[in-house]
């Protein structure tokens, strides 16, 4: 099912530019969204794209990945094993603020008269830039130019360059640079300022938004101010994490500048006062740094912040910018997709924005995960979900395998807590948290949280793909196998061989990816993915035993692996029950799915979507109605376990039941539609995926980007349009005839493949590497470096 077509903001405001996301007119209509869409981040540090003047603003947001506050999860009625501790990514002190006063008049975009306004997120340079000419109420014309970057080469650093030129007169100018703690604030407080109409339902009722803290989260440790530098230390009130941050400034101006400071107490200020001469540019460069820790003292991090500022100031802004461009060039060489059509006239621009967001969410993620909103907002509390493994990991595996490895290693680091959680849930093995930052389960509604055991299989699946595509068996031996053993154990303990199902292995009381049914028996997706997990675990253990006997011994020691366990997993997998309905020929989503009433989507008023905000869960669970791909997702991820006919029957059945209330839906529907020859449907869904955020399909982009959908968009291109499949590490392509031009690189086992579809032909070129075998449909192609092989689409 497809709701109204997504509509981008108008071109006279947001013009086409293949390498930038550009705003040509300030528009209060898009203030909140643009804070998200203009975000800058590096996977460790993120800043929403708000105005440096501090207003208008929806939510001042600066985030450090993995830096969270905890709080006791409240329950009206508690039960045994409910998750106890909530975690919320903290809004760290906002360092982007630079206020400007000319003739004592403050500049803000919502009140100023302006010419030549433009702001842009530049995908090539990795910067956010703004230019404009402000005509003050007194007739002074003031040229402003800002460049903002969150460094990809130096992940603790952000920098802003701010240039002011009064063009036509002398004028007194004051520039106030701030670093200010917003940690207790919440988006809703800003609605008025942002010119945003209040949401239809109270925000408290929207389960997707972050907790609003009633108190200041960051407890100041000690702060110091020397010259134009402020250094601050904080600890969180409850989680006990520490933060050091600081700002420093370089002024370039040929004339007298008076500097004054306000010592930091929640707000650190450095003010610059000078008398502007016509045409003479005042340049302020502001450096910011953030360091966080779960163990070190705030004072140490504060000192470290000082050292970082010393270093980066010596390096200089131009050098930072040059580093950033080099990093971006390298990224695009591995990740750029050139496309012409088919989903939308602006597909190239929008797609690059998507890819850039993927980079921003993951580029320098180290010992942390990928939050559902990247580092662009606090919705979903900044938690890591299965999105990371299922929606983001494929892109990373094929473009930045070292980042993929980091994420899997991060999951491995959670194993201890996942084992504890399995014990709390009265199970063996390990159960990864449905949502978390710290590794502790933080889902407060288990039916759409803890019950999603399938996250275990998602991690195993991503691990398998990583190992197969990169060839990194060392990782499998050192980290992966332990994950496989513990996840397989969980499945084996969770399910049972059912007499009533002829001895088949059944898994009960779980929730699949589709949260519009919950706590069901034999969710097909879960069973299929659990099977894959069990198989792969058995296979990996056997492989280690044979090929890496020393690693096997270490694994057996670490996991107390018993002889026969792998055989048990193999047997459970072989006997896995997969729901199938003889009458309709489809795979029911779960044991009871077909017994439910069909929801009448066509006659449900549009303003009742997403259903979860307008119907009690009990009502939704009672119907055949789908929030997101579930069987369809399984048919993509485990496509080699379904015939084409089966895929068609299932898609025909489920697609009309799918509301797409989840942003994770469109990309997957697109891929499977493309595979089964539903070209128009594939294109339509692709349009939804590509435009999800920029057209604000869900109406909530102001709360952050949808990283899963963005990762899914990459998949919809590569797996959908180019028809790539990588079952068991065999890379094959089946490009779709309706694709005119599409070109993209893939990193496979350390080699670089270029796929270039051009009006009926597809050329596979091994741009770098010793040799690679791939499949074009059923035909094997053995590629050698530098030589392209062209085939008919």
The minimum distance between CB 85 and a second copy, in angstroms, equals 10
437 forms part of the interface with a second copy (CB under 8 A)? no
372 forms part of the interface with a second copy (CB under 8 A)? no
- Which of 453, 688 has the CB closer to a second copy? 453
CA distances from 265 to 53, 180, 491 (A): 20, 9, 52
> Binding string to a second copy for residues 516 to 545, with x set by CB under 8 A, is what?
--xx-x------------------------
- Of the candidate spans 101-109, 615-623, 760-768, 772-780, the one that interacts with a second copy by CB under 8 A turns out to be 615-623
617 forms part of the interface with a second copy (CB under 8 A)? yes
759 forms part of the interface with a second copy (CB under 8 A)? no
Number of residues that bind a second copy (CB under 8 A): 54
> Binding string to a second copy for residues 69 to 88, with x set by CB under 8 A, is what?
----xxxxxxxxxxx--x--
Residues 265-304 that bind a second copy (CB under 8 A): none
Closest CA to 336 of 769, 690, 755, 730: 755
575 forms part of the interface with a second copy (CB under 8 A)? no
**Enzyme catalytic residues:** 515
- Of the candidate spans 37-45, 95-103, 106-114, 449-457, the one that interacts with a second copy by CB under 8 A turns out to be 449-457
- Which of 619, 773 has the CB closer to a second copy? 619
- At residue 568, φ and ψ (nearest 5 deg) are -60, -45
309 forms part of the interface with a second copy (CB under 8 A)? no
The minimum distance between CB 48 and a second copy, in angstroms, equals 24
> Binding string to a second copy for residues 84 to 123, with x set by CB under 8 A, is what?
--x-------------------------------------
725 forms part of the interface with a second copy (CB under 8 A)? no
Contact between residue 287 and residue 309 where contact means Cβ atoms under 8 Å apart: yes
DSSP-derived secondary structure for 592-648: TGGGSEEP-STTS-GGG-SGGGTS-HHHHHTEE-BSS-SHHHHHHHTGGGS-HHHHH
CA pseudo-torsion sign 198, 204, 207, 211: positive
Contact between residue 59 and residue 159 where contact means Cβ atoms under 8 Å apart: no
d(CA 125, CA 320): 11
Of 254, 562, 597, 600, which lies in the binding site for a second copy, with binding defined by CB under 8 A? 597
d(CA 777, CA 293): 50
Cis-peptide, bond into residue 56, ω within 30° of zero: yes
210 forms part of the interface with a second copy (CB under 8 A)? no
Burial of residue 727 (CB within 10 Å: 0-12, 13-18, 19+) is middle
- Phi/psi class of residue 316: alpha, beta or left (left: φ > 0; alpha: ψ in -120 to 50)? left
586 forms part of the interface with a second copy (CB under 8 A)? no
Of 214, 557, 560, 616, which lies in the binding site for a second copy, with binding defined by CB under 8 A? 616
- Of the candidate spans 109-117, 204-212, 466-474, 719-727, the one that interacts with a second copy by CB under 8 A turns out to be 204-212
Q: Report residue 502 CA to chain centroid gap.
A: 42
Of 67, 282, 410, 621, which lies in the binding site for a second copy, with binding defined by CB under 8 A? 621
- Of the candidate spans 124-132, 246-254, 443-451, 568-576, the one that interacts with a second copy by CB under 8 A turns out to be 443-451
Which residues in 9-21 are b (16+ Cβ under 10 Å) and which e? beeebbbebebbb
What are the start-end ranges of the E strands in 327-378?
338-340
605 forms part of the interface with a second copy (CB under 8 A)? no
User: How long, in residues, is the chain?
Assistant: 793
Contact between residue 185 and residue 218 where contact means Cβ atoms under 8 Å apart: no
Cis-peptide, bond into residue 342, ω within 30° of zero: yes
For residue 211, the 8-state DSSP code is P
Residues 406-425 that bind a second copy (CB under 8 A): 424-425
Residues in a beta bridge with 131:
118, 145
Which residues in 622-636 are b (16+ Cβ under 10 Å) and which e? ebbbbbbbbbbbbbb
Residues 37-76 that bind a second copy (CB under 8 A): 73-76
- Of the candidate spans 91-99, 594-602, 657-665, 705-713, the one that interacts with a second copy by CB under 8 A turns out to be 594-602
207 forms part of the interface with a second copy (CB under 8 A)? yes
d(CA 446, CA 510): 10
252 forms part of the interface with a second copy (CB under 8 A)? no
438 forms part of the interface with a second copy (CB under 8 A)? no
Contacts of 549 (CB under 8 A, 6+ apart): none
614 forms part of the interface with a second copy (CB under 8 A)? yes
- Which of 509, 761 has the CB closer to a second copy? 509
The minimum distance between CB 436 and a second copy, in angstroms, equals 13
Of 33, 305, 436, 443, which lies in the binding site for a second copy, with binding defined by CB under 8 A? 443
- Which of 42, 452 has the CB closer to a second copy? 452
CA distances from 595 to 611, 649, 660 (A): 20, 18, 22
Tokens read off for 481: 């196998």
* CB neighbours of residue 773 within 10 Å: 10
615 forms part of the interface with a second copy (CB under 8 A)? yes
> Binding string to a second copy for residues 457 to 496, with x set by CB under 8 A, is what?
---------------------------------------x
- Which of 520, 742 has the CB closer to a second copy? 520
Residues 681-710 that bind a second copy (CB under 8 A): none
- Which of 43, 449 has the CB closer to a second copy? 449
Of 323, 591, 641, 740, which lies in the binding site for a second copy, with binding defined by CB under 8 A? 591
Tokens read off for 390: 């299922």
426 forms part of the interface with a second copy (CB under 8 A)? yes
447 forms part of the interface with a second copy (CB under 8 A)? yes
195 forms part of the interface with a second copy (CB under 8 A)? no
The minimum distance between CB 208 and a second copy, in angstroms, equals 9
402 forms part of the interface with a second copy (CB under 8 A)? no
The minimum distance between CB 70 and a second copy, in angstroms, equals 12
d(CA 598, CA 626): 10
- Of the candidate spans 105-113, 123-131, 498-506, 642-650, the one that interacts with a second copy by CB under 8 A turns out to be 498-506
The minimum distance between CB 8 and a second copy, in angstroms, equals 30
- Of the candidate spans 296-304, 501-509, 738-746, 751-759, the one that interacts with a second copy by CB under 8 A turns out to be 501-509
CA pseudo-torsion sign 672, 677, 681, 686: positive
- Phi/psi class of residue 186: alpha, beta or left (left: φ > 0; alpha: ψ in -120 to 50)? beta
Q: Residue 362: helix, strand or coil by DSSP? A: helix
Element containing residue 316 per DSSP (H, E): none
Of 187, 506, 681, 707, which lies in the binding site for a second copy, with binding defined by CB under 8 A? 506
For residue 435, the 8-state DSSP code is S
Tokens read off for 363: 């580029």
Of 2, 174, 250, 613, which lies in the binding site for a second copy, with binding defined by CB under 8 A? 613
Closest CA to 144 of 181, 194, 101: 101
Contacts of 319 (CB under 8 A, 6+ apart): none
- Which of 313, 519 has the CB closer to a second copy? 519
189 forms part of the interface with a second copy (CB under 8 A)? no
Residues that bind a second copy (CB under 8 A): 73-83, 86, 204-205, 207, 424-427, 443-451, 496, 498, 500-501, 506, 508-509, 518-519, 521, 591-592, 594-597, 612-619, 621-622
């Amino acid at each position: 099912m497809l709701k109204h077509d997504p509509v981008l903001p108008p071109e006279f405001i947001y013009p086409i530019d293949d390498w930038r996301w550009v705003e040509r007119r300030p528009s209060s209509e898009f203030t909140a969204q643009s804070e998200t869409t203009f975000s800058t981040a590096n996977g460790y540090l993120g800043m929403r794209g708000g105005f440096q003047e501090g207003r208008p603003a929806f939510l001042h947001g600066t985030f450090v990945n993995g830096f969270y506050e905890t709080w006791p999860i409240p329950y009206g009625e508690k039960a045994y094993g409910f998750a106890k501790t909530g975690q919320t990514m903290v809004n760290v002190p906002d360092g982007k603020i630079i206020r400007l006063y000319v003739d004592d008049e403050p500049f803000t975009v919502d009140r100023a008269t302006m010419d030549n306004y433009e702001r842009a997120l530049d995908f090539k340079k990795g910067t956010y830039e703004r230019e404009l000419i402000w005509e003050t109420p007194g007739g002074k014309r003031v040229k402003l130019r800002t460049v903002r970057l969150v460094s990809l080469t130096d992940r603790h650093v952000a920098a802003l360059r701010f240039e002011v030129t009064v063009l036509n007169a002398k004028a007194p100018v004051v520039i106030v640079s701030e670093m200010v703690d917003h940690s207790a604030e919440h988006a809703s407080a800003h609605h008025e300022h942002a010119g945003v109409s209040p949401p239809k339902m109270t925000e408290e009722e929207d389960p997707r938004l972050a907790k609003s803290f009633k108190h200041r989260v960051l407890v100041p440790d000690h702060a110091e101010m020397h010259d134009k530098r402020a250094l601050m230390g904080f600890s969180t009130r409850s989680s006990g994490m520490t933060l050091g941050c600081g700002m420093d400034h370089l002024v370039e101006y040929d004339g007298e500048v008076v500097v004054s400071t306000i010592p930091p107490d929640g707000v650190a200020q450095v003010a610059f006062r000078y008398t502007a001469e016509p045409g003479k540019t005042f340049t302020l460069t502001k450096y910011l740094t953030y360091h966080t820790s779960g163990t070190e003292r705030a004072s140490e991090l504060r000192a470290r912040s000082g050292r970082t500022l010393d270093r980066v100031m010596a390096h200089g802004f131009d050098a930072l910018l040059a580093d950033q461009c080099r990093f971006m060039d390298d990224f695009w060489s591995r990740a750029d997709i050139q496309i012409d059509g088919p989903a939308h006239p602006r597909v190239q621009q929008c797609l690059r924005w998507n890819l850039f967001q993927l980079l921003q969410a993951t580029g320098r993620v180290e010992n942390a995960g990928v939050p559902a909103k990247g580092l662009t907002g606090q919705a979903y509390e900044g938690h890591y979900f299965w999105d990371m493994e299922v929606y983001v990991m494929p892109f990373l595996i094929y473009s930045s395998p070292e980042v993929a490895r980091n994420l899997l290693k991060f999951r491995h680091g959670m194993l201890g807590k996942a084992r504890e959680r399995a014990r709390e849930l009265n199970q063996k093995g390990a159960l990864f948290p449905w949502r978390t930052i710290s590794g502790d389960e933080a889902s407060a509604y288990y039916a759409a949280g803890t019950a999603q055991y399938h996250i275990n299989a998602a991690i195993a699946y991503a691990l398998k793909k990583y190992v197969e595509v990169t060839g990194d068996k060392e990782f499998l031996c050192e980290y992966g196998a332990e994950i496989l053993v513990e996840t397989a154990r969980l499945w084996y303990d969770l399910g049972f061989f059912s007499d009533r199902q002829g001895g088949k292995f059944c898994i009960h009381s779980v929730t699949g990816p589709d949260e519009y049914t919950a706590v069901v028996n034999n969710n097909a997706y879960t069973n299929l993915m659990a099977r894959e997990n069990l198989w792969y675990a058995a296979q990996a253990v056997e492989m280690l035993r044979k090929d890496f006997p020393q690693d096997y011994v270490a694994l057996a020691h670490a996991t107390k692996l018993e002889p026969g366990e792998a055989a048990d997993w193999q047997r459970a997998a072989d006997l896995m029950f997969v729901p199938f309905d003889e009458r309709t020929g489809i795979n029911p989503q779960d044991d009871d799915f077909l017994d439910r009433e069909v929801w009448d989507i066509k006659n449900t008023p549009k303003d009742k979507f997403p259903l979860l905000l307008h119907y009690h869960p009990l009502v939704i669970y009672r119907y055949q109605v789908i929030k997101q791909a579930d069987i369809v997702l399984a048919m993509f991820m485990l496509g080699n376990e379904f015939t084409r006919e089966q895929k068609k029957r299932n898609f025909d059945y489920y697609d009309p039941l799918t509301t797409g209330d989840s942003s994770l839906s469109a990309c997957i529907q697109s891929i499977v539609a493309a595979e089964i020859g539903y070209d128009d449907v594939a294109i339509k869904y692709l349009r939804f995926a590509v435009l999800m955020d920029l057209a604000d399909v869900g109406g909530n982009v102001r709360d952050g980007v949808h990283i899963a959908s963005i990762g899914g968009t990459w998949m919809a291109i590569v797996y959908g349009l180019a028809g790539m499949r990588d079952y068991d590490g065999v890379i094959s392509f089946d490009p779709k005839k309706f694709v005119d031009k599409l070109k993209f690189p893939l990193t496979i086992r350390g080699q670089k493949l270029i796929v270039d579809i051009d009006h009926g032909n597809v050329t596979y070129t091994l741009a770098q590497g010793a040799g690679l075998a791939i499949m074009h449909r059923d035909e094997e192609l053995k590629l050698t470096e530098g030589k392209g092989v062209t085939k008919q689409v």
